[in-house]
């Protein structure tokens, strides 16, 4: 059975590696956009737009984003979002783009976050400038593969993420 899954690339392309999510969904291209069950969208810095789109009854979300510099630039992390630890405080924030703010805005609008797999990449540089650093750019093909794996896992609704 096919389930409706939203793939959301987020980040600011004008802040170097923060544009990772946008680059991954651009690389995915139209591979999944032709079907009604899977939609691939670059949300950029439009957190409120993503929150409103999540009100449309998506069974699952694959969120592709840059992660704060806490490790080796270019290192990918794939995990399921823990919506409980994000916090229960519901507040609308038209400018917030981090996942916690998006989910809080969604709750404030009366929605419930779907099952969410996050594909994140450790950043090297988020200063002003367009383009990814070399280690982050090199991680894009693996992130595309991780999105495809997540889609297969979510479509089958595996009990846990094994990535």
Tell me how far apart the alpha carbons of residues 113 and 116 are, in angstroms, rounded to a whole number: 8
What's the structural domain count of the chain? 1
Any domain includes 61: yes
What are the φ and ψ backbone dihedral angles of 25, each rounded to 5 degrees?
-70, -30
Closest by Cα among 72, 70, 103 to 89: 103
For residue 2, name the pLDDT band (cuts at 50, 70, 90): low
Q: Which two tokens stand for residue 11?
A: 């980040």
Per-residue pLDDT at 59: 95
Residue at token pair 């993420």 = 161
Per-residue pLDDT at 73: 96
120 contacts: CB under 8 Å, gap ≥ 6: 64, 65, 66, 67, 76, 77, 78, 79
Any domain includes 161: no
Q: Where are the alpha helices (DSSP H) in 33-133?
A: 47-53, 99-108
Any domain includes 24: yes
Measured over the CA atoms of residue 124, residue 83, residue 106 and residue 146, the dihedral's sign is: positive
Any domain includes 92: yes
Instruction: Provide the CATH number for the domain around residue 76.
Output: 3.40.50.1450
Q: Supply the mean pLDDT for the chain.
A: 86
Torsion of CA 6, 83, 75, 151, to 10 degrees: -30
Any domain includes 163: no
Beta-carbon-side half-sphere exposure of residue 135 (alpha carbons within 13 Å): 13
**pLDDT: is 48 or 86 the higher one?**
48
- Give residue-wise pLDDT tens across range 105-128: 899 999 999 999 999 999 999 999
Q: Which two tokens stand for residue 32?
A: 């999944």
Any domain includes 30: yes
- Neighbour-count burial of 161, counting CB atoms closer than 10 A to its CB (0-12 exposed, 13-18 middle, 19+ buried): middle
Any domain includes 94: yes
Q: Which two tokens stand for residue 63?
A: 């969120």
**What is the domain extent for residue 12?**
5-156
Please give the model's pTM, rounded to 2 decimal places: 0.87
- Give residue-wise pLDDT tens across range 55-74: 998 999 999 999 987 779 99
CA 130 centroid distance within chain: 20
Query: Mean pLDDT, to the nearest integer, of 130-138?
Result: 97
Q: Of all residues in the chain, what percent carry a pLDDT higher than 90?
A: 66
């Amino acid at each position: 059975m096919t389930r409706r899954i939203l793939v959301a690339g987020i980040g600011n392309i004008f802040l170097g590696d923060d544009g990772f999510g946008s680059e991954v969904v651009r690389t995915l291209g139209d591979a999944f956009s032709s079907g009604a069950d899977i939609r691939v969208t670059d949300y950029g810095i439009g957190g409120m737009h993503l929150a409103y789109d999540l009100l449309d009854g998506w069974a699952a979300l694959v969120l592709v984003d840059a992660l704060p510099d806490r490790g080796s630039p270019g290192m990918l992390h794939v995990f399921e979002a823990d919506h409980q630890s994000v916090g229960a405080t519901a507040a609308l924030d038209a400018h917030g783009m981090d996942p916690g703010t998006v989910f809080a805005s969604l709750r404030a609008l009366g929605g419930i976050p779907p099952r969410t797999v996050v594909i994140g990449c450790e950043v090297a540089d988020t200063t002003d400038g367009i383009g990814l650093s070399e280690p982050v750019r090199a991680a894009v093909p693996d992130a595309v593969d991780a999105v495809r794996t997540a889609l297969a896992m979510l479509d089958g609704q595996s009990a846990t993420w094994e990535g």
